[in-house]
Amino acid sequence: MAPRSLQYAHMTVRLEIHPESPQARLVRQVAEVLRDGGLIVYPTDSCYALGCMLDAADAARNMARIRQTDKSHNFTLICRDLSEVSAYVKVPNWAYRLVRANTPGPYTFILPATRDVPRRLLNQKRKTIGFRLPDHAVPRAILEEIGEPIMSSTLLMPGSDRPLNDGDDILEQLDGQVELVIDSGSCGIEPSTVVDLLGEYPVILRRGKGDARDFE
């Protein structure tokens, strides 16, 4: 039987999922596509994003192709909670306290990855990875259903300074390039605030939706 991602290769499925009360039947359908190696578009508490399972090599390459990223790009792990984060990211005690105080929320944190993260997903120069704990019911329901993190990147198309935010626009631009688009209505166009926690103190790499005062 062909992988689900190949079955969908020329047809992108669109699901309308409620942003506050995700329908369990539809969440299970999303989880099935992810487990079968598919690439999805999903909402977060900052903006829409691309996502796939960590072991979905073809989907990850497709994500990088859509975003036109280079080897210095920090992809992001979307996790359920901090206990899950600790299996994939090395979080020092001082950073753990800051992260705990600001999650879930619209923040992406950069830290060294553990060996459980595939090398192809890392920033090749620094062996780092980003991680997020989103405060949005849809990705949280998906994460609970699949029981592990997903790899993600903001749905920012090459040459654009604004993430896609409308279901019709997303489908028009990505039809046939992703397996599934989750349409949960507008979730904003301001990406997450990105904080580098690699040194002895936080460094704000991008000011976004999350309040950055705790990291200054």
User: 25 Cβ partners below 8 Å, 6+ apart?
Assistant: none
Q: Which helix (H) or strand (E) holds 78?
A: strand 76-78
DSSP conformation letters of 60-73: HHHHHHHHT--TT-
Looking at CATH, the fold of the domain delimited by 4-215 is given as: DHBP synthase (3.90.870)
Residues paired with 53 in a beta bridge: 150
Q: Where are the domains of the chain?
A: 4-215
Amino acid identity, position 1 = M
27-41, 65-79, 142-156, 179-193: least confidently modelled range: 65-79
State the Cα–Cα distance between residues 4 and 119, nearest whole angstrom.
25
Q: What are phi and psi of 119, to 5 degrees?
A: -60, -35
pLDDT tens, residue by residue, 115-147: 888 777 766 667 888 999 999 999 999 999 999
Mutual angle of helices 24-35 and 137-146, in 10-degree steps: 60
Q: Are 197 and 183 in contact (CB under 8 A)?
A: no
Give residue 35's pLDDT: 97
